[in-house]
Chain A
Amino acid sequence: DIVMTQSPDSLAVSLGERATINCKSSQSVLYSSNNKNYLAWYQQKPGQPPKLLIYWASTRESGVPDRFSGSGSGTDFTLTISSLQAEDVAVYYCQQYYTGRVTFGPGTKVDIK
């Protein structure tokens, strides 16, 4: 199975400041035939199910604020929250779906400083 790692485990950012979360896969999740990275980002708030934020590594899900952006290719990816808002406090997970046996990263907790 593809192993996903995330860094940092947690971070605290001031309101309005940038938050950056990194995700690394143990093998490339870039499918050469369509040049797509099979990588998604989810946000999970306490007591709620995960919510899809980003798919194909950089495509924002409908309704997701544009302060959320995804980047990267191959094995290294980044989720950026350009200006942290109070409602962004959550745990963020990356997920690879390159293989049918999808795997998630361990999560990064984002708090307000």
Chain B
Amino acid sequence: EVQLVESGGGLVQPGGSLRLSCAASGFTVSSNYMSWVRQAPGKGLEWVSVIYSGGSTYYADSVKGRFTISRHNSKNTLYLQMNSLRAEDTAVYYCARDDYGDKGAFDIWGQGTMVTVSS
């Protein structure tokens, strides 16, 4: 079965760090474009970061310099390292497969993991 399962969310103080994981099954993370998308409570979708199959990475301006996307090929897992967290980073974080070669859109999504930044 093709699926993505996120983990690692939780409550963290402002200025703290957290690492999110996204375990994939049924397809190979390193052969695909993979993105993180977040959704603040009651708000819309915001793209956060992408890692291309070739390894290039890109970030939204709101997280550039604070967040790092990476992957572990043998674990078939995507990561998002989040540092210097702010209250405005509070959101559900989804990982998604970007089917760039065929549909071009995000065709597989995880269930999401909640990150709360609060003192």
Contacts and interface: CB of A to CB of B under 8 A. Distances in A.
Contacts of B105: 40, 52, 55, 95, 97
Chain A interface residue bracket vs B: 20 to 34
B88 interface: no
B46 A40 contact: no
Interface in A89-110: 93, 95, 97, 100-107
Contact of B47 (A40, A56, A104): A104
B103 A104 contact: no
Contact of A100 (B45, B50, B107): B50
A17 interface: no
Contacts of B98: 97
Q: Is the interface of B mostly helix, strand, loop or mixed?
A: strand
B27 interface: no
Interface string B21-63: 0000000000000010100000011110010000000101000
Interface string B75-90: 0000000000000000
B6 to A, nearest CB: 10
A49 B45 CA distance: 10
Contacts of B103: 40, 52, 55-56, 59, 61
